[in-house]
Structure 1
Amino acid sequence: MALPGAAPPTAPGAFVHPALFYRDEREYVAATVAFVRGGLDAGEPVAVAVPGENLRLVRDALGDRGRAVRFLDMREAGRNPGRIIPGVLRPFADTAPPGRRVRIVGEPIWAGRSATEYPACVQHEALINAAFRDRAVTILCPYDVRRLDARVLADARVTHPTVIPAGTGREQPSASYDPDGVVARWNLPLPRPPSAPTLTYAFDAVTLTRARHVAVGEGGRLGLAGMRLEDVAIVVAELTTNSVVHGGGSGVLRMWEEADSVVCEVRDRGRIPDPLAGRVPTPRDQRGGRGLLLVNLVSDLVRIHTEDGGTTIRCWFGRRGEPG
């Protein structure tokens, strides 16, 4: 497309996923607002899911036209990158009338994302292409070229089929586009915990129920309370049950403190073959298959490493505030 607001020259049901490189607020507002207005003019449902400070810029620039736009603060809704597709993008896109294209501004990567979060972010950007394949959806992803590392910008070219270079307003193909390669490349062994685990608990079918109670007790001892402890109970119950049913019949639960978070990790002998597992909603009439989805929806961050020898799933729970 010639400009971010112009209609994409693609088949009606094709997915469009450009990366927008911007240098300052002026370029950001000009490109995103043109994109939003283009969607509104075409009668398309439009959502803007970006960090709060950028959300205010777009909302202010749209004025009264913003009443027709769905606004979401990505710092909250997308704190866990694994929650963005099932909790932000799909719920909005799936409510569109049949045959109607949907437009979304989605900014999951911003300056301040930690090195721990980044692998989940870049995998999310790659997996969007599979999650929306053959869907009439356009997702514009802004990238701040001044504040983001050169590696992040290089990855954006690999996870997006097209890019809009800063200041040009013109979309061009990305020669390095390879989303499947990104997913595989970032499927790395998880780093060693910064501190020794305060809990290590081996479980099997006999001790499965006790694993959840042990985790809740340890979470409370480490400073979690209220809904956060309920989140831990949900996550540990889902992960340990999955280990017993699909991961070789047993596993190991570990917990520890990390900055302002409590971390839960479950390791078993299973393998997760589908990178989209836990990232897309399941049909209402489907039995099962929602465990990892629930884990993503209630955790502040989820990191997964899976290989033939087993799978490790690590979840973070902040001690401040309550998740959505």
Structure 2
Amino acid sequence: MASSTTIAATENIPPVRSEGQWQIVIRRFRKHKIAVFSLFVLFALLTISALAPVIAPFDRDRPVTAVSYTKPFTVDKQGNFRLLGTDHLGRDFTTRLLYASRTSLGTALIASLIASTIGVTLGMLAGYFGGWVDTLISRALEIIATFPLLLLLLIMSAILTQNINSIPLPDWFVSLMAGIFAVPEREARIIFAVIMVLSLFGWTGTARLMRGMVLSVRENIYIEASRALGASSGRILWRHVFPNALPPMIVDFTLAVNATLVAESALSFLGFGIQNPTPTWGNMLSAAQSYMFQHPWMPLIPAVPILICSIAINYIGDGLRDALDPRQRG
């Protein structure tokens, strides 16, 4: 009787569902409240910047009033409310900032994605195959590391942005870039030139990290078993090595986006990156610095989004690092 009761009670117990790896990661990440809030802030900024052509109240380049330096949260003589005021040419600052957000964030994301792809690919090849492949890639990393990065970025950006027609690009690709950034095709070519520069010199850290991760997993038993079963090197890299090295790469990507965003803003600020009439946070800050003592609010308008994005991305990276750390429990 007791045994039948025990069996019946056991049958009524619902099965325990085991959590998958990414479910555990999401649960851990949600415990990091600041990271979750930062992710919400970044998502809101990305959404607003993506909708810039739709929600922008005025034309990007055309002056909307004859009165320059209108302060934020004021009504001009024409009766129009200026949320962020107007610049030295009478252009609406809100509209300019929306388009600048689209350009700066889009450039940082695309350049970081390209650089991470290059770094992951070369790091996997160097770590897995070793030999002359590892030597060649490692020497390339060392050569790039010997040059001052900022100087390289300034020189390459100046050369490419001043000779944009020398870059052979198909018409459909230029049209695609123009559509993504909501700019004319000539400005799209300049943006692509800056993306190329940031990508060419932004992959080295990712390659080093990926190489180290591959070296730590390539001698594991399951890798040896795959080789014994006749799996190709490409299949082993894609099915076994890459998934095990992915968590650190995700954290590295967030840091790369932050670094690329700051680098793009610095290039534009110094006059070597994307320049007017295409608005970016960097060139808006550069234009406003001449008037910072007479109109101290002007530099704050592009500087605050840079600061907010930088802090938010750093907190997201911290949250992902903690969530993806296998040593974390619960």
Taking structure 1 as the reference length, the TM-score comes to 0.22
**Structure 1 or 2: larger helix share?**
2
- Normalized per residue, the structure richer in strand is 1
Taking structure 2 as the reference length, the TM-score comes to 0.22
- The structure with the largest alpha-carbon Rg is 2
Higher relative contact order (CA 8 A, sep 6+): 2
